[in-house]
Amino acid sequence: MNVPTLFGLCGAVLVGLGLYGLVVSPQPLRKILAFNLVGSGVFLLFGVVARRGAALGMGGDPVPQALVITGIVVAFSATALAVALVLRLHDMTGAATLAPADADEPPVA
């Protein structure tokens, strides 16, 4: 096994782990955190693809590397928006989870 493959497998496990956390965590913030794990796993897979494309003295293919940098920044801005939404929801309703407020109403799928 070589280095890129090792980190590639790591990225694959991170995506699965994040998906698990996204489903089972009741707290919205923990879901956002888990979603960031999925994202970082995907970015890591990108890094592996970049590393495998190393050529002509470059440590990796610079195109996927540049896209990952863009991706990390965009993921952060989406995370900030999600956190702001959760905090506003909490301020308005006092809700601590994303469960529907009225138990009699069927949850919206």
Partner 1 sequence: MNLALLFDGMLVVLILAVAVWTVTVRDSFAAGIGYAVYGLLLALAWVRLAAVDAALTEAAIGGGLTSVLMIRATVRLRAGEAAARAATPGPLPRLLAALLGGSVAAGLALVVLALPDPAPTLAPQVAEHIATTGLGNAVTAVLLSFRAIDTLLEAVVLIYALIAVWTLTPDRFWGGRPGPKYETDPNGMLAYLARLLPPIGIVVAVYVLWVGADLPGGKFQAGTLLAAMWLLAIMAGLTEAPPISRRWLRGVLVAGTVVFLAIGFAGVPLAGAFLAYPEGFAKPLIVAIEAASMLSIAFTLALLVLGPPERRDQA
Q: Which residues in 37-56 contact partner 1 (CB under 8 A)?
A: 37, 40, 43-45, 47-56
- Residue 73 vs 106, nearer CB to partner 1: 73
Tell me the C-alpha distance between 84 and 3, whole Å: 38
4-43 mask for partner 1 (x: CB under 8 A)? xxxxxxxxxxxxxxxxxx-xxxxx-xx-xxx-xx--x--x
If binding is defined by CB under 8 A, does position 100 make contact with partner 1?
no
What is the closest distance, in whole angstroms, from the C-beta atom of residue 47 to partner 1 in the complex? 4
* Residue whose tokens read 């699965």: 16
SS3 85: helix
Question: Two tokens at 40?
Answer: 């970082």
- Residue pair 46/71 in contact (Cβ under 8 Å)? The answer is yes
- Residue 94 vs 106, nearer CB to partner 1: 94
